[in-house]
Amino acid sequence: LYSSHAWIGIISGILLFIVTFSGIPALFDHEIEFWQYPAYSELDEKKPFDLEQSLQTAKAIDFTYDNFFIQPAGEINKHITLAYFTQDKEPDIRYLSANNYQEFPSSPSEISHLFSHLHTDLHLPNPWGRYLVGLSGMAMLLAIIAGIIIHVKWRKEFVMLRPKRSWRLLLTDQHKLLGLWSLPFTFILAFTGTILGLLGLISPILALAAFNGDVEKATVAVLGPTAEVTGEYTPVYPLNELWHRLEIDAPDTSMELIQISGLKLLTTKGTLATDRGGIIKFSGYHKNKLSNLESITYNLSTGEKIHQGSFIGKGPFQRVFATVTPLHYVLFGDVWLKVCYALSALAGCGLILTGNMLWLHRRGHGMAHWLSKLTLGICGGLVVSTSLTLALSQALYGLASPEEHHHLEELGFWGFWLLTIVLPFIFKDGFSLSHYFLRITAAGFVATLVIDGFLHGRWIWMSEGWVFNVQTGILFSALLFIYLDWKMPKQATIRKAAESSSNVDDSEFDNAQAS
């Protein structure tokens, strides 16, 4: 078990770090998107959602598709999103003010999507990227289970930290502390991430277990039916009436997404019509349940409810499956629960790094080993690149055109990361380089706040709401990396500690080696 725990961590450690660390900004993608684009926070307060007016605006701005999505304004964003997706072209996404239903320009930045896709599919082609992420989650899950079994003295290890002893003992104690204190969250993230990443592979198995192997029936049960196009068109049923009917048909449910299929624009009359088989599907989350995925589908022409998907009251297998997405993406609770998830993910990153360093130290390898260089370059480089890209993205609001903005963001992100991957193979003093990485990361976060203040006048002491919350998170990140740079030993300090601990009892070292 000791060997399994170690080798699983070593083989998958770097990939696990990428997935875990990128999950932190991905967890707050809506908050980051709202903070980053000043136009979002300048919108007037939202009014009660008017579905019919949204469709009239869609018609007016030539958003005339027969199958598209509407996302009502949420708690954070004060805009309505219209989205049309196709496999061969870029998606058509428009934004409407939730106050006056007028279209406004979207954010030129794509940084939140850059981080989100790194977490979900590593920017690799579908579905291989998701499968790789799912396999990394499985490796993390196996390492956690093995770690739980081998740590028999976990009560003592909950509070044990010996910073003034040897470097090896310090790594050992930190590895145990990070693992034990973050265990509930890291286990949940690993388990749910494995299922979500490998869902394309395990869907037939799930269908076999719950629907006797009928994948189509399983798809309809979860996602609802699709539109059956007949070619006959009728007036659209009053959609606001359907929206208000949800309070009866789906009480205590927050509807987050609307899919409309079969809608047509009759240009001669300028009115909306629908195919007789057209549907409108509302999807959301129950406010008081953990297995909270809910959906209701109505016929667009008659308003008849033709399907309702709910996992409430279902069997234990289906209810457990329904909790996977809410548990992984924190679709329940409040922002403080997200903060707990983020801190646990950060602890998971530390767990991976200390595990790699322990493995190298036990075998007498130093920073000159290729695995040390690769770990520092890829893992440390990702952190550096994230902070510098945030600063770059804010600066681009004043330097680049909207068309160039997200292209320069991507170029900067991958360029910064590639440079930091190469640096450990050029500079021999890896420990000093790791300190520089920490300082550059902190400087990047501070620069982000300073640039935001100069360009947009949003200094942290003048901000409020979600802008203040995100800025506080960035400031906390900067202070955290300054603290890590201060507390992490220098090379000379490690050597002195190793020499001074040469008379430590052999049994103590045996315990450290066992971990």
3-state SS of 87-106 is CCCCCEEEEEECCCCCECCC
CA distance 298 to 114: 35
Residue 279: which residues within 8 A CB-CB, separation 6 or more?
224, 225, 226, 227, 259, 260, 261, 262, 297, 298, 299, 300, 306
Domain shared by 324 and 448, yes or no: no
Domain shared by 385 and 411, yes or no: yes
* Closest residue by Cα to residue 113 from 128, 91, 82: 91
Helix/strand/coil (H/E/C) assignment for every residue in 224-285: CCCCCCCCCEEECCCHHHHHHHHHHHCCCEEEEEEEEEEEEEECCCCEEEEEEEEEEEEEEE
Q: What is the pLDDT of residue 273?
A: 83
Q: Is the peptide bond before 127 cis (omega within 30 degrees of 0)?
A: yes
Q: What is the pLDDT of residue 156?
A: 60
- Give residue 306's domain range: 224-329
Q: What is the pLDDT of residue 201?
A: 78
Domain shared by 93 and 242, yes or no: no
Over the range 448-482, which residues count as b (16 or more CB within 10 Å of their CB) and which as e?
Answer: bbebbbeebebeeeebeebbebbbebbeebbeebb
Domain shared by 407 and 455, yes or no: yes
**DSSP per-residue letters across 112-166:** HHHHHHHHHHTTPPTTHHHHHHHHHHHHHHHHHHHHHHH-TTHHHHTS---TTS-
Task: Please say which residue of 285, 314, 329 terminates a domain.
Answer: 329
Domain shared by 46 and 31, yes or no: no
Write out residues in the chain with pLDDT < 50, as ranges.
492-515
List of long-range contacts for 311-319, beta carbons under 8 Å, 24+ apart? 312/286, 315/210, 317/209, 317/210, 318/210, 318/291, 319/291
What count of other Cβ atoms lies within 10 Å of the Cβ of residue 507? 8
Domain count, the chain: 3
Domain shared by 18 and 156, yes or no: yes
Kindly state whether residue 169 falls inside one of the protein's structural domains.
Answer: yes
Q: Is 351 exposed, middle or buried (0-12, 13-18, 19+ CB in 10 A)?
A: buried
Kindly state whether residue 246 falls inside one of the protein's structural domains.
Answer: yes
Domain shared by 425 and 454, yes or no: yes
Domain shared by 446 and 420, yes or no: yes
Pairing of strands 79-84, 305-310: unpaired
Q: What is the pLDDT of residue 7?
A: 66
Contact criterion met (CB below 8 Å) for 367 and 430: yes
Contact criterion met (CB below 8 Å) for 420 and 384: yes
Kindly state whether residue 384 falls inside one of the protein's structural domains.
Answer: yes
Kindly state whether residue 212 falls inside one of the protein's structural domains.
Answer: no
Q: What is the pLDDT of residue 241?
A: 93
Domain shared by 325 and 339, yes or no: no
Kindly state whether residue 350 falls inside one of the protein's structural domains.
Answer: yes
| Torsion over CA: 308, 313, 316, 321 (sign) | positive
Domain shared by 321 and 380, yes or no: no
Kindly state whether residue 390 falls inside one of the protein's structural domains.
Answer: yes
Domain shared by 264 and 323, yes or no: yes
Q: Is 421 helix (H, G, I), strand (E, B) or coil?
A: helix
DSSP letter at 461 equals G
Task: Please say which residue of 265, 297, 329 terminates a domain.
Answer: 329
Kindly state whether residue 122 falls inside one of the protein's structural domains.
Answer: yes
End-to-end CA distance of the chain: 11
List of long-range contacts for 400-408, beta carbons under 8 Å, 24+ apart? 400/108, 401/108, 402/105, 402/108, 403/108, 405/108, 405/109, 405/110, 406/108, 406/109, 406/110, 406/111
CA distance 389 to 441: 10
Domain shared by 47 and 185, yes or no: no
Q: Is 332 helix (H, G, I), strand (E, B) or coil?
A: coil
Name 458's bridge partners. none
Kindly state whether residue 306 falls inside one of the protein's structural domains.
Answer: yes
Distances (CA, A) of 97 to 80, 83, 177: 6, 15, 47
Q: What is the pLDDT of residue 154?
A: 58
Q: What is the pLDDT of residue 502?
A: 40
